[in-house]
Structure 1
Amino acid sequence: MFSLLNFNSAKKLFFQIPFRKLSTNFTPVRLAYASYESTAPPSEQDPAALVVNHGIFGSKSNWNSLCKVYHEKTRRKIIAVDARNHGDSPHAQEHTYVHLALDLEELVKQLKLTKVAVLGHSMGGRAAMYFALKYPNLVDKLIVVDISPVVRYADMKSIGRLFNVLQSLELPKNVTMSVARNQTDQQLSRYVMDKGLRNFLLTNLVQTLDGSYHWRINISALKANFDDICGFPPTNSLNFQGPVLFMSGANSDLIQNSDHDRILKLFPKAEFVSIEGTGHWLHSEKPKEFLDHTVKFLNKNDKL
């Protein structure tokens, strides 16, 4: 039963299904984003902008506080994006890492950027990895948060049921947001025991002009592409020769020591840092330690 899963169990299963299919529709979507930048005119001496990618069911707003600090402490322009089928970005039937990387390439071209640093958590981390592998000339540095390209097999029935649960809920109408969240949370609690997971999911509840509520994530597309979200595309001879930092929570097993050899084949300059006392959400569980490591990495003068 899904109700017996705690949040850590749920998070662990999200990333253990192999990449299986590949759509033939390679049309990018224009991503919604929030930028954090100086009012001063840009200079050729400015470091590359940092693009921040959230995980599944997340949005750019999850990273608002950290993005402000990154801008202040790295002098970089910060661009927090909503992935396709999330937040304010367009919905699409396709949702594979090939498509997510293509969306990032489109964003770089749209913003007329030469190179970007990329930070990605979970699903966003795999999108960032594939973007760096596929378009290495566009990437200055890469930070991958609690995910790796190594795919492990597991039963996905409990996680697959989460999509069905969200689709089955009777969403309220003509009530305030606080009331709507409470009513929806009461229904969710029958299936999902962990309050943190429920609160995270409820950030996707939005009200329309007619007073009704809906999920802003594209549940049907995410459900249809879930095998791909939990996998990683074939890499063949791809690799990224630039600086890479893999950050993990010590209580999470999504980056294991046994993964390092595979990671180093794809990212020969990869560094590994684990933060004690944290799990999958290390950036929110211990933001100071997370910022200390990532800011130091971003500010380091690497020769590419």
Structure 2
Amino acid sequence: MICCQISNLKRLKTSNLRNFSINPDNKYQDHVNLAYATYESTDSEKKAPPLILLHGLLGSKSNWSTLCKIYQTKTTPNRKIVAVDARNHGESPHHREHTYEALSLDLKALLSTLDIDKASILGHSMGGGTAMFFSLRHPEIVEKLIVCDFSPISNNLGDLRGYLEAMERVKIPRGLSMSKARAAAEFQLEQLGIRHRTRRKFLTTNVVLNSDGSFGWRVNLPALSRSCSNLSRINIEEGQTYEGPTLFVGGNNSGYLKPRELPRIKRIFPNSKFKFIEGAGHWVHFDRRKEFAEITVKFLNGKV
């Protein structure tokens, strides 16, 4: 088997935006052209619908690289894997709007560009919110849905909001190597109250060198800070459901996916199953990658 990775890593400017409308009454008449990376086999004749991976707030498609390779080799029939950078993250353009409606519009445009009319979608946190929003509005496109540690009912984004506030206060001196710049940012984040080393390392992957020689953040902090409250829940219309196979995977040490909300979630996603992984927090796919991969591969292969 030959596994190839094809990356669309070109930084896109906001001037490259083009019109794309899902609903003529939708106020978001433009989308952003999302950066993405694909993983696919060249020797498999029978293929299942592609799997689209959506990262969480302050993440990027690179967070999924190890799991992308696992999904590409372990899913049966084989699937093309597409890891996506959301707007205001990674290599995708910045935009003042950051809502689930806008994120869903971007995803719809990307699938159209890639000629994908059927796909399974896996999203973590904010990406899970986007996946749910998209599935409820475009159920005919979504084969299977996997939501990683996020609820359609309510989510406390207090920690993530605190991360945004801390990142805005970080000042990195000029003239440092990238490794030293990220170390300086990590030290300041610790001083600003982010005690978990893994989380600081995760945040500092967003440090970039600007064209003027200064250091900054790859993510669009002002837009994300303004929009944080909009991301705590998704807007669901009365009676709206997604009937397709759905898997919610939560961390046992996380408070995002609450057991008491499962009956209400079942009414929105009636064909849903729930798994909680021991020892995992909100970043389930990092904290317990092996267990997360096993559970999700079985689901994608029709065994859960």
Q: How does the TM-score come out when normalised to structure 1?
A: 0.85
1:91 counterpart = 2:94: yes
Counterpart position of 2:291: 289
1:62-77 paired onto structure 2 within 5 Å:
62-74=63-75, 75-77=78-80
Q: Post-superposition shift, 1:235?
A: 2.7
Q: Post-superposition shift, 1:102?
A: 1.1
Q: C-alpha deviations, 1:188-234, integer Å up to 9, x for none?
A: 22112222221111010011344321101000000111110122213
For residues 233 and 282 of structure 1, the distance between their equivalents in structure 2, rounded to whole angstroms, comes to 24
For residues 161 and 253 of structure 1, the distance between their equivalents in structure 2, rounded to whole angstroms, comes to 16
For residues 196 and 303 of structure 2, the distance between their equivalents in structure 1, rounded to whole angstroms, comes to 42
1:174-193 paired onto structure 2 within 5 Å:
174-191=175-192, 192-193=194-195
1:1-304 paired onto structure 2 within 5 Å:
24-40=27-43, 45-74=46-75, 75-151=78-154, 156=158, 160-191=161-192, 192-300=194-302
The letter for the 2-side match of 1:134 is: R
CA pair 155-264 structure 1, distance change in 2 beyond 3 A: closer
Q: Post-superposition shift, 1:161?
A: 4.7
Q: Post-superposition shift, 1:301?
A: 7.5
Answer yes or no: is the 8 Å Cα contact 1:172–1:184 preserved in 2.
no
Greater shift after overlay, 106-115 or 282-291?
282-291
Q: Post-superposition shift, 1:24?
A: 3.1
Greater shift after overlay, 212-221 or 166-175?
166-175
Answer yes or no: is the 8 Å Cα contact 2:157–2:228 preserved in 1.
no
Q: Post-superposition shift, 1:286?
A: 1.5
For residues 205 and 175 of structure 1, the distance between their equivalents in structure 2, rounded to whole angstroms, comes to 12
CA pair 292-228 structure 1, distance change in 2 beyond 3 A: same
For residues 290 and 188 of structure 2, the distance between their equivalents in structure 1, rounded to whole angstroms, comes to 35
The letter for the 2-side match of 1:181 is: R
Q: Post-superposition shift, 1:38?
A: 1.6
Answer yes or no: is the 8 Å Cα contact 2:40–2:80 preserved in 1.
yes
Greater shift after overlay, 269-278 or 51-60?
269-278
Q: Secondary structure at the match of 1:80?
A: strand
Q: How does the TM-score come out when normalised to structure 2?
A: 0.85
Answer yes or no: is the 8 Å Cα contact 1:31–1:81 preserved in 2.
yes
Q: Post-superposition shift, 1:89?
A: 0.6
CA pair 215-72 structure 1, distance change in 2 beyond 3 A: same
Q: C-alpha deviations, 1:123-143, integer Å up to 9, x for none?
A: 110110111001111101000
For residues 165 and 293 of structure 1, the distance between their equivalents in structure 2, rounded to whole angstroms, comes to 34
Q: Secondary structure at the match of 2:41?
A: coil
CA pair 250-160 structure 1, distance change in 2 beyond 3 A: closer
The letter for the 2-side match of 1:277 is: G
Answer yes or no: is the 8 Å Cα contact 1:84–1:100 preserved in 2.
yes
Unaligned runs of 5+ in 2: 1-25
Q: Secondary structure at the match of 2:109?
A: helix
CA pair 155-135 structure 1, distance change in 2 beyond 3 A: closer
Sequence identity, in percent? 43
The letter for the 2-side match of 1:120 is: G
Counterpart position of 2:20: none
For residues 73 and 119 of structure 1, the distance between their equivalents in structure 2, rounded to whole angstroms, comes to 16
Number of residues paired by the alignment? 276
Q: C-alpha deviations, 1:46-104, integer Å up to 9, x for none?
A: 10000000100000001100000100011110000001100001111111111111111
Q: Post-superposition shift, 1:155?
A: 9.2
CA pair 264-59 structure 1, distance change in 2 beyond 3 A: same
